[in-house]
Structure 1
Amino acid sequence: MARWFGRSKSRSHDPVGAAAESEHLEPLGVSDDLRLAYGRTGDPKLLRGALQAAELAVQVYPVNDVRHAAALSSLCVLHRLSWERERAAPDLIKAVDYGRRAVDKSPPGDTELPRHMSSLATALQEVYDSTQDEESIDEAINLYRGCLDLMPLSSSGQGEERVSQVSNLANSLLRKGRSSRDNDILNEAAAHARAALRDTPDDHPMHPVRLVNLGGVLLGLVQSGHPEHLGEAEDMYARGLREFPAGHPARPGVEQTLAMIKDLHRQFGT
């Protein structure tokens, strides 16, 4: 799933902010840089520093400045990352709260509103994974749909950020469809997962992830009573496993799923 690890476009909203950024003094830019460094290293000190800089940014920028909403959205992302690391419930609560505030405070015409909506949706998806709260996954799905409504197709087709949102929507629909065994929802998830894979270049770092994402949706269809998708699901997982580099943290889970698929083949006599 896309995590919006890129830098905030709002960090150079005005010349003064751009100049401060060049001296590494602009707090939203500092927070972004520390978050990116945390993504590369996993050093918790960098995550704590990113949180402190984002908290400062919320205080520094006035409410009608797009960077205020961007800072709130950064806090949503950072607290979700802290939740993923520590599994402390207050972090997930804060992630959702900051995400809601970012969407609410985004001024008219803010081009980063889809980014803020996506950050909130991802936090809500984490809430669903932790609690199985149906309202949370329904809200996440609606937010991802809203992102796509605000991100029109470019002249060359779907841009990378839009493809990420298509993939995110597919993953949320998979969660809902798998729990409800609703084939219509799962089929919609499969359509979005196929579109995201189709528009992801073979050499893109997200290509193996999107192979596995499609495999997961197809496996959900198998488990809801459609074994005809089992062969393609296996192919997606096998291709993803070949593309993930050695030592990638996703490999054990993919290998485990492939072993489960072999058992399903025996059960179905295929």
Structure 2
Amino acid sequence: MARWFGKSGKSGDSDASGPAGRAGAAGQAEDDPLNTADALRLAYGRTGDQGLLRRAVLAAETARGQYPADDPHHASALSALCMLYRLRWERERDPALLERSLTYGRQAVDASPPGDPELGRHMSSLATSLQEAFDRGGRRQDIDEAIALYRSCLDILPAGHPEHAGQESNLANSLLRRAQKFPDAATLDEALTHARAALDDTPQKDPMYPVRAVNLGGVLLALVQTGQLRHAAEAQRMYEEALRRFPRSHPARGQVQGAVERIRYLRRTLGI
């Protein structure tokens, strides 16, 4: 079975990327619509061409109709649509697109047959869309559902699995979102545990290492903002480490630099 959309989305889709168009996996042909959708989605990521994104949606819709409901590829097609409509939402900001993403994501999880190795990815994709819904509407139920899904991903992924660290990072980010909207010390402490574990489990040469350093820095900074000033120095180190590793063209550099400057100012002001 093609492990489509496995690793090249944003952090929420695990922070992660994989080759498109794996031909021949479990008998999938090169012209399989799932492979086509994946290739178009990757091309959209490189170019930003909305026409490619809309063609990817059409290919995924074709796959959804092509595979019967009991075929794991059917669930993968639904999960693809979840991600693609979320990408359209991020670009177009039409709430109907986000709602469609959520609908397809839930259908993908429900349609996964017992033992489906892709279930964790389907749950993660739905959880990422739920985070978007939470960011938009602030409903506690959305972030709580996302957190539950990420926890379920970790339950079915062994510690040595290549996507385990990404899911820990995703869970940490969801917990941080929740704690920032609904302050709770235990939630923030759990976010710190998972963010630290995600970084510890990521090789330093992995391209996701600086992203996960930023994620850990964000949790540490949130703890500083609750009065736990002992975390300020480590938060600064995490952001500075990310800056050293990010390429100059990385879109997060400006925000990370701003965070470093704020922490430096805070530490100078408070003498910490």
- Same fold flag (TM > 0.5): yes
Change (3 A) 1:180 1:27: same
Aligned residue-pair number: 260
Secondary structure in 1 aligned to 2:13? coil
Change (3 A) 1:215 1:151: same
Q: Identical aligned pairs, as a percentage?
A: 53
Could you tell me how far apart the structure 1 residues matched to 2:19 and 2:75 are? Answer: 14
- Matched residue, 1:101: 107
Could you tell me how far apart the structure 2 residues matched to 1:40 and 1:193 are? Answer: 28
**Residue 148 of structure 1 is aligned with which of 150, 154, 157?**
154
Secondary structure in 2 aligned to 1:160? coil
Structure 2 length-normalised TM: 0.90
Could you tell me how far apart the structure 1 residues matched to 2:21 and 2:65 are? Answer: 19
Offset from partner CA, 1:59-89 (integer Å, 9 cap, x none): 1111111001100000000111111122221
Change (3 A) 1:66 1:11: farther
Shift in Å at residue 206 of structure 1?
Answer: 0.6
CA contact (8 A) 1:6 1:36 kept: no
Moved more, 136-145 or 254-263: 254-263
- Matched residue, 2:13: 3
CA contact (8 A) 2:124 2:149 kept: yes
CA contact (8 A) 1:121 1:140 kept: yes
- Aligned-partner residue type, residue 225 of structure 1: G
Compute the RMSD of aligned alpha carbons.
Answer: 1.8
Could you tell me how far apart the structure 1 residues matched to 2:41 and 2:268 are? Answer: 46
- Matched residue, 1:234: 236
Offset from partner CA, 1:119-149 (integer Å, 9 cap, x none): 0000001111111111100000000000111
- Matched residue, 1:198: 200
- Aligned-partner residue type, residue 205 of structure 1: P
Shift in Å at residue 13 of structure 1?
Answer: 6.0
Shift in Å at residue 11 of structure 1?
Answer: 7.7
Shift in Å at residue 160 of structure 1?
Answer: 2.0
Shift in Å at residue 35 of structure 1?
Answer: 1.1
Matches within 5 A, 1:117-156: 117-153=123-159
For structure 1, the 5+ residue unaligned runs are none
Moved more, 233-242 or 41-50: 41-50
- Matched residue, 2:258: 256
Moved over 3 A (4+): 4-14
Matches within 5 A, 1:1-270: 1-3=11-13, 5-6=17-18, 14-15=26-27, 18=28, 20-21=29-30, 25-153=31-159, 158-270=160-272
- Aligned-partner residue type, residue 49 of structure 2: D
- Aligned-partner residue type, residue 85 of structure 2: H
- Matched residue, 2:3: none
- Aligned-partner residue type, residue 227 of structure 1: L
Shift in Å at residue 46 of structure 1?
Answer: 1.5
Could you tell me how far apart the structure 2 residues matched to 1:13 and 1:77 are? Answer: 22
Shift in Å at residue 14 of structure 1?
Answer: 3.9
For structure 2, the 5+ residue unaligned runs are 1-10
CA contact (8 A) 1:72 1:99 kept: yes
- Aligned-partner residue type, residue 72 of structure 1: L
CA contact (8 A) 1:13 1:67 kept: no
Structure 1 length-normalised TM: 0.91
CA contact (8 A) 2:21 2:36 kept: no
Could you tell me how far apart the structure 1 residues matched to 2:208 and 2:190 are? Answer: 21
Moved more, 36-45 or 246-255: 36-45
Secondary structure in 1 aligned to 2:199? helix
